[in-house]
Structure formats: C-alpha cells, structure tokens
Amino acid sequence: MKHAQANRLKIWIEAARPRTWATSVSPVLLATALAWAHGKAHWGIATICFFFALLAQIASNFGNDYFDYRKGSDKADRVGPRRAVAAGDISPRAMLAATAATLGVACLLGCLLIPVGGWWLIGAGVVIAIAALAYSAGPYPLSYHGLGDLTVWVFFGLVAVNLSYYVQALSFDTDVFLCSAATGLLSVNILIVNNYRDVDDDRAAGKHTTVVLFGRKAARTAYLINGILAVGLVAAWWIASWPAGIILPLAYLYLHLNSYRKLARLSGRALNPVLGATARNQLWFTLLLIAAIVITTYHPS
C-alpha cells in the first residue's frame, strides 16, 4: 500500500514538471532582491508571491497536460518526458480537477495581497488565471497559434517580476522592468527547448509553435540571442558590482553557450537534459544577478 501511494505521489510530482519551476521561482527571488536593495523588501509578502507563482505554474502545467491530451498533441509515445494523462497514469477528470484546485489555491493566496497592493490586484489575478488556462485551452489556445513565447515572456518575466516587486515596494522602477525583461527571455528559452524537441509531434498535431512556424535554425538563433540579450539588459548591475561584475555574467554565459551547443547538436529525447539545464541556467542567472545586486548595495561604486 505504501509503495503504491509513493508511486502515485511520484506521478503527480512529475506531472507538475519540477524541472521547469525555476521559471516561476526566479522572478520572485529577483524581485525580492531588488526590493531589498531599495530598502523595501517584505519577507512575508515575498513568501506569498513565491507560492502564488509556483502554484500558478503548476496549475498551468496540469492544464497543459490535460488540454494537450484532449487536442491530441500529447501521445503515449511522445519524445518528451512522460505526460500523465496521455500515458494513462492520471485520468483526464482527475487532472482537470487538480488544475482547478491548484489554480484556486493560487488565487486564494493572491487575495492575501489585496490589502497591501489594492483592489486592482483582483483584475491582475484574473488575467493571470485566464492566461494560465488560455495557454493550452479555449477557442484560441495561445501555444497553438505561435503566441506561447510572447505569453511566457510577459507573464513569467514582466508580470511576475514587476508585480512581485510592486506588492513589496508599492511602486514600479525602470531597473526592475529591465530585470523582468531579462528573466522573461530566459523563461522563453525553456519553452524554445521544449518546442524544439517536440517540433515533429507538434506539426503533426497542428500545434503551430514558433519552432513549427519558423524552423529549428531560427529557434536556435533565438535561444542564443535571448541569453546574450538578457545579460545586456542588466549591464548596469554588472558594471556597478565591478570587479565581480565581469566574472558573474561570464559564468552564466559559459553555461548558456554550453547548452546552446547541445541544442544545436542533439534532437529528440536527447534534448530532455538540455531542457533541465536551461531551467538551471535561468536559476543561476538569477542567483548571479542577485549577487551583483548585493555587492552593489553593500559596496556602491
């Protein structure tokens, strides 16, 4: 009995796709570091943002598992990691219920921020919830019409960082916006690897990702540029944290270029580790940038 329960738990954890959690965790960590640097960090609020972002992404992953199965783009023999509904590990009904429940808990957490940030956060929360579902569901699923990359950049970059900062500082900031644009690009890179690996399956299922629309070469180029551009967008922090500021971005670029070379060389299931490495790269970029922020705050030039 215990073995069966442990196996069931493992199936649900895998369905939540922990490899990609960096894309929801990183923006909150970065926003909190920026709020701290500006003397406005609030650790309780940051914790709420952390779990809200994580649950919203898990709900989106559950929904993606369910709706891609219903639309026929996920099959049991897919080249990517096992999908719970398509493989028969979790029933469609259970996955849909889990999607609704997880999104509901995320929304309840978000409501705790209303007394701090104002009633307009309800509208922001509704938009985030709709986007989490509209990514794979509805009459015009965004990921099926070449809008997945833009959606990820906006919601896992601009929205996640700026809102997490706002509810702590109660203001917006140009530096925060640039950081949000940078981390959004790295979230897009995770999606690029996913769609690069699945391009043949997606094309057969009529799922028009940007890789299907523009091809593998364009996807590889976008992946490379996104990582380099992310470093450039936050150049002010690297410069301000000199001399460490020369080492920190180079450490990230080493990881990024290594993943890019593997992306260009590998295909199919061999790309699964590259997906995990790309998520790791985003987390490392975040931690390295936070290091630059800390150095600059303690030792301003």
With a cut of 80, say whether residue 3 has pLDDT above it.
no
Is residue 70 exposed (0-12), middle (13-18) or buried (19+ Cβ within 10 Å)?
middle
High-pLDDT (> 90) share of the chain, %: 76
Given this model, what pLDDT does residue 288 score?
Answer: 98
Q: Does the predicted TM-score (pTM) go above 0.85?
A: yes
Q: Per residue in 255-288, is it b (16+ CB within 10 Å) or e — as a string? A: bbeebbebbeeeeeeebbebbbbbbebbbbbbbb
pLDDT range class, residue 4, cuts 50, 70, 90: low
Residue 91: how many other CB atoms lie within 10 Å? 12
Higher per-residue pLDDT: 93 or 134: 93
Q: Rounded mean pLDDT of the chain? A: 92
User: What tokens appear for 79 in the block?
Assistant: 């080249």
Half-sphere exposure of 164 (CA within 13 A, CB side): 35
* pLDDT tens digits along 26-81: 999 999 999 999 999 999 999 999 999 999 999 989 998 898 888 776 666 666 67
Find all residues with CB under 8 Å of 162, minimum gap 6, and list them.
31, 172, 176, 177, 180
- Rounded Cα gap, residues 132 and 54, in angstroms: 12
Q: What pLDDT was estimated at residue 300?
A: 67
> Residue 280: what residue type?
R
Query: CA of 297: how far to CAs of 33, 36, 38, 187, 249, in Å?
Result: 10, 9, 9, 26, 18
Instruction: Compute the radius of gyration of the chain from its Cα atoms.
Output: 19
pLDDT score at 76? 60
Structural domains in the chain, sorted by start:
2-298 (1.10.600)
Structure confidence by residue, pLDDT tens digits, 136-182: 888 899 999 999 999 999 999 999 999 999 999 999 999 999 999 99
pLDDT score, position 72: 72
Tell me the per-residue pLDDT of 241-254, one tens digit each, with 9 for 90 and over: 999 889 999 999 99
Residue type, 187: S
Instruction: Give the pLDDT confidence of 81-102 residue by residue, as tens digits.
Output: 778 898 889 999 999 999 999 9
Strand positions, DSSP E, the chain: none
Judge contact between 7 and 267, C-beta under 8 A: no
For residue range 191-220, list pLDDT tens digits in order: 999 999 999 989 988 999 999 999 999 999
At 220-247, the pLDDT tens digits run 999 999 999 999 999 999 999 999 889 9
Q: How many CB atoms lie within 10 A of CB 296?
A: 20
